[in-house]
C-alpha cells in the first residue's frame, strides 16, 4: 500500500517569517518597482524593444532549462512571424509562447484555480505530439531532477503520490487566494511559497517547471509587479540555475511533513527580482542597444560579425545595428577585426 504524506497547507505562518535580511530586500524591491511607473525618459521604441526581447528570452530560457532547444532563427519566427514547425521542441516552444502571451494580455482574468492551471498546461501542449500529457495531472509518480551541463540528472526530491495531486493543488490555490485576499502577507512572500508548493507537488508528468515560471509571471503581474514585462525573469533563473536547484533542494527538505524551510527559496526569488530591476536601471541609465551589444561581446569568446550580433538582437534592424557599431567604434568602445565582409567586432 502506498504511503500517503501527512501534509497541510496553512500560509498564516508567513506573517512571522520575515527576518531583517528579507525585510531589506522587500523594501529595496518596492522602491525599485517605482521605476516601472516612471518610464517617461525612455523612448517608446526602447520600451517596445525591451518587451520583445523579454518575450524572446523568456520563451528561449524557460524551455532551455528543460533541455528544449532550437535555433535563434526558428524561435524568432515562432514568436514574431507565427511560423509553424513540425519538430517536437518547436511545437512545445510555440505552446509556451502562446501561454506567455495569454498571461501578458489577460493576467487580470486568470483566477488561480485548479481548472485554470490545467487549462494553461493544456495550452502549453496544444501543438505537441504528446497528446496523452496535455491538461491532465500525472497518473504515475515522478521525481524532481537537477540537470548539470553534461545533461546528468540528479534526483533532488520525490513529489507526492499521484493520487494526492488533485486535492493538494486545490488546497494550495485556495490557501493562496485566501491569504492574498486578506492582504496581510506580502505578495512577494506569498508568491514563492505557492510556487515552491506547486513544484513539490509536481502535478504533471511533464511541464511542471515551465508552468511554474508562467504562474510566477502571472502572479507578479496580478500584484502590480510588471518588471517581467521588460526584463525576462526566466532568463534570470537560467543565469542562476545552480542556485535555483540548490534553494529548491533546501526548501523542499521535509516538505512532505510540513517541516520544510521556505526561506531559501523565497530569498532566491527576491534576489532574482532585484537582479531584474537592476537590469532595468541599466537600461534607464545608458543606451539600451549599446548595453546589448556590449553584453553580447563580453560573453563571446571570439570576435563576432554584424550578422552574428544581429542574430542575438531581436527586433533591431540591420541598418540600426550597423549605425550603432560605427558609433561604438568611433567612441573606441569596440574594435574591428578584419575588413569589409570579413569584419568582426570585439571589446577594446
Distance, CA of 181 to CA of 237 (rounded, Å): 28
Q: Is the dihedral of CA 28, 29, 34, 36 positive or negative?
A: positive
HSE-up (13 A, CA, CB side) for residue 324? 18
Catalytic residues: 202
Q: How far is CA 145 from CA 156, 248, 265, in A?
A: 6, 11, 16
Q: Is residue 150 in some structural domain?
A: yes
CA distance 289 to 346: 16
Model confidence at 41: pLDDT above 70:
no
pLDDT band at 2 (very low <50, low <70, confident <90, very high): very low
**Do residues 157 and 226 share a domain?**
yes
Considering the domain boundaries, does residue 3 fall inside one? no
Query: Is residue 56 within 8 Å of residue 77, measured between CB atoms?
Result: no
Task: Give the C-alpha separation, 94 to 84, whole Å.
Answer: 8
Query: pTM of this prediction?
Result: 0.82
User: Minimal CA–CA distance to 242: which of 263, 268, 262?
Assistant: 268
What is residue 16's DSSP assignment?
G
Instruction: Quick: pLDDT tens for 83-126.
Output: 999 999 999 999 999 999 999 999 999 999 999 999 999 999 99
Angstrom distance (rounded) from CA 345 to CA 336 = 5
CA dist., res. 115 & res. 133, Å (int): 15
**232 pLDDT above the threshold of 80:** yes
Residues paired with residue 344 on neighbouring β-strands, in sequence order: 337
In this predicted structure, the answer to whether residue 38 has a pLDDT above a threshold of 80 is no
Q: How many domains does the chain have?
A: 2
Quote the CA–CA distance of 335 and 329 in Å, as a whole number: 6
Point out the annotated binding site: 206-213, 244-245, 254
CATH code of the domain containing 216: 1.10.3290.10
213 and 306 share a domain? no
Q: Determine the structural domain holding residue 335 and report its residue range.
A: 288-347
Cβ(198)–Cβ(37) under 8 Å?
Answer: no
Q: Report pLDDT for 1.
A: 38
| Residues annotated within a binding site for ATP | 206-213, 244-245, 254
Q: Residue ranges of the alpha helices (H) in the chain?
A: 20-33, 44-65, 72-80, 88-106, 114-124, 165-182, 187-201, 208-222, 233-239, 241-252, 263-285, 288-299, 306-311, 318-330
Q: Check: CB of residue 58 under 8 Å from CB of residue 272.
A: no
Q: Are 216 and 305 in a shared domain?
A: no
Is residue 310 in a domain? yes
Of the three residues 285, 306, 332, the one that is the final residue of a domain is 285
Q: Indicate if the pLDDT at residue 250 is higher than 80.
A: yes
Looking at the fold, whether 75 and 128 belong to one and the same domain comes out as yes
Q: Please tell me whether residues 321 and 249 are part of one structural domain.
A: no
pLDDT at residue number 284: 67
CATH of the domain at 332: 1.10.10.10
230 found inside a domain: yes
| Assigned C-alpha cell, 203 | 502535478
CB 29 within 8 A of CB 188: yes
Say if 6 falls within a structural domain: no
DSSP state of 163: G
Amino acid at each position: 500500500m502506498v504511503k500517503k504524506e501527512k501534509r497541510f497547507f496553512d500560509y498564516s505562518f508567513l506573517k512571522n517569517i520575515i527576518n531583517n535580511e528579507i525585510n531589506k530586500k522587500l523594501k529595496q524591491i518596492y522602491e525599485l518597482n517605482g521605476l516601472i511607473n516612471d518610464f517617461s525618459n525612455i523612448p517608446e521604441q526602447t520600451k517596445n524593444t525591451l518587451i520583445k526581447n523579454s518575450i524572446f528570452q523568456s520563451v528561449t530560457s524557460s524551455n532551455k532549462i528543460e533541455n528544449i532547444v532550437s535555433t535563434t532563427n526558428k524561435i524568432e519566427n515562432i514568436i514574431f512571424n507565427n511560423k509553424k514547425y513540425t519538430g517536437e521542441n518547436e511545437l512545445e516552444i510555440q505552446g509556451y509562447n502562446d501561454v506567455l502571451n495569454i498571461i501578458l494580455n489577460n493576467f487580470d482574468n486568470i483566477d488561480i484555480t485548479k481548472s485554470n492551471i490545467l487549462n494553461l498546461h493544456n495550452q502549453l501542449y496544444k501543438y505537441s505530439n504528446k497528446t496523452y500529457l496535455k491538461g491532465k495531472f500525472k497518473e504515475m509518480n515522478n521525481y524532481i531532477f537537477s540537470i548539470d551541463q553534461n545533461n546528468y540528472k540528479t534526483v533532488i526530491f520525490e513529489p507526492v503520490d499521484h493520487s494526492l495531486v488533485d486535492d493538494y493543488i486545490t488546497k494550495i490555490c485556495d490557501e493562496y487566494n485566501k491569504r492574498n485576499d486578506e492582504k496581510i502577507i506580502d505578495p512577494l512572500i506569498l508568491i514563492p511559497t505557492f510556487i515552491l508548493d506547486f513544484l513539490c507537488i509536481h502535478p504533471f508528468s511533464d511541464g511542471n517547471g515551465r508552468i511554474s515560471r508562467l504562474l510566477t509571471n502571472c502572479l507578479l503581474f496580478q500584484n502590480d509587479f510588471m518588471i517581467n514585462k521588460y526584463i525576462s525573469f526566466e532568463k534570470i533563473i537560467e543565469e542562476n540555475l545552480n542556485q535555483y536547484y540548490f534553494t529548491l533542494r533546501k526548501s523542499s527538505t521535509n516538505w512532505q511533513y510540513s517541516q520544510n524551510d521556505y526561506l531559501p527559496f523565497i530569498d532566491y526569488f527576491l534576489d532574482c527580482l532585484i537582479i531584474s530591476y537592476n537590469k532595468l536601471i541599466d537600461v534607464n541609465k545608458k543606451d539600451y542597444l549599446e548595453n546589448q551589444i556590449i553584453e553580447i561581446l563580453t560573453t563571446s569568446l571570439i570576435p563576432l560579425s554584424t550578422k552574428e550580433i544581429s542574430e542575438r538582437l531581436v527586433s533591431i534592424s540591420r541598418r540600426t545595428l550597423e549605425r550603432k557599431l560605427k558609433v561604438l567604434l568611433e567612441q573606441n568602445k569596440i574594435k574591428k577585426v578584419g575588413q569589409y565582409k570579413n569584419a568582426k567586432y570585439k571589446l577594446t
